[in-house]
Amino acid sequence: MVLLRWLISLMFLFSAVTSYARDLPNFSGANQYYLFYKSNYMIDDVFSDAKSLGLTVIRTWAFCAGASHDGYCFQPNPYEYHEPTFKKLDYIIASAGQKGIKLILPLGNNWGEFGGIPQYLRWFNLYNHDDFYRDQRVKDVYKAYIAHVINRVNTITGVPYKDDPTILAWELMNEPRSYDLPNFYLWVDEMARYIRDLDPNHLRSTGSEGEIATPVFETHKSEAIDFVSFHLYPDWWGFSQERSIQYIRDHAKIARDLGKPVFFGEFGFKDKQRRRQIFSEWYQVAKEEKIDGVAFWLLSGNQDNGSLYPDYDGFTVYYPESIDVTDIIGDYSKYVHAQGVN
């Protein structure tokens, strides 16, 4: 067992020396939020389905603050880190690496799900959302969490996260929003530089939804931010298909103006009767605009009892069950591979 662990560690360390992404690769990907609190079987099942769809990147949560899910929570209290949850993340990274899948890991959440900004504010009896970006106590706790994650050594592979090529990028937060833009921009720059100082090997972005949340150019202009991020949810935002397509094109242009790659980081559409046409057009626009990374919301798989994980938000894609869109996603994956994956 000791020898096997040593050989696995050596394999990952060797790949770490040779396989870092210095730029955002062209990829077809998906989002998956529940991995950190589900069984190893469910983790492996999602990655197997991802491989079947030709996906090479999964964006999944590396955050949970004060809100236990099935007994798992990365940070139950300030400066307190739950080892069983981090061991689950160890497994996620090891399993993804074995299957040739890279991970994008957001480190926090704007929303109250999994704690998010509201939990950080409760810890310090704060009530203004934007105090998250201003209060030094909150920033210190957030930085300490970031450092704990990045400096962790995987208990399965023996590789520090900051040296693991399975991790493609860190995101500062899932869908950050702010009304105090000057302090928000300072926060983005401060946190991105902090991550870069701890880990110069991996890419960094914001996790932003795009213009629906904050001005994209300013949000991503920090030289410590490597690529632009945006999301798209017409069901929630009241966008027509025409406006949705323009939203994609607008963000691709902003990224070009910044001279940075662009990640279409989340998107979904609830009407299963129309989703095929909608996805087909969005993926086509992604080709036309030469968007670097595309990740739909949400890839889910089987539960431990063999049944499909419930479609709680109406956006779920299953493989092979979601026959309305699986061939479109698979075809886009083939297109990406034909372009050459760096």
From CA 121, how far away is CA 99, in angstroms rounded?
A: 38
Please identify which of the residues 171, 175, 209, 289 carries the catalytic annotation: 175
Inter-residue contact 90 to 155 (CB < 8 Å): yes
The phi and psi torsions of 336 (rounded to 5 degrees) equal -60, -45
DSSP state of 23: S
Q: Is 322 helix (H, G, I), strand (E, B) or coil?
A: coil
Of the residues 171, 209, 266, 289, which is catalytic? 266
Picking from 208, 207, 85, 192, the residue whose alpha carbon sits closest to that of residue 149 is 85
| Side-chain half-sphere exposure of 89, counting CA atoms within 13 A | 32
CB under 8 A, 24+ apart: contacts of 317-321: 317/30, 318/49, 319/49, 319/52, 319/53, 320/52
Tell me the sheet residues that pair with 300: 318
Is-catalytic flag, 266? yes
Residue 176's closest CA among 211, 142, 207, 131? 207
The answer to whether residue 289 is catalytic is no
> For residues 228 and 261, what is the distance between their CA atoms, to the nearest angstrom?
6
Rounded to an integer, what is the distance from CA 315 to the centroid of its chain?
A: 17
Strands (E), 55-190: 57-60, 102-106, 167-171
Report the catalytic residues. Answer: 175, 266
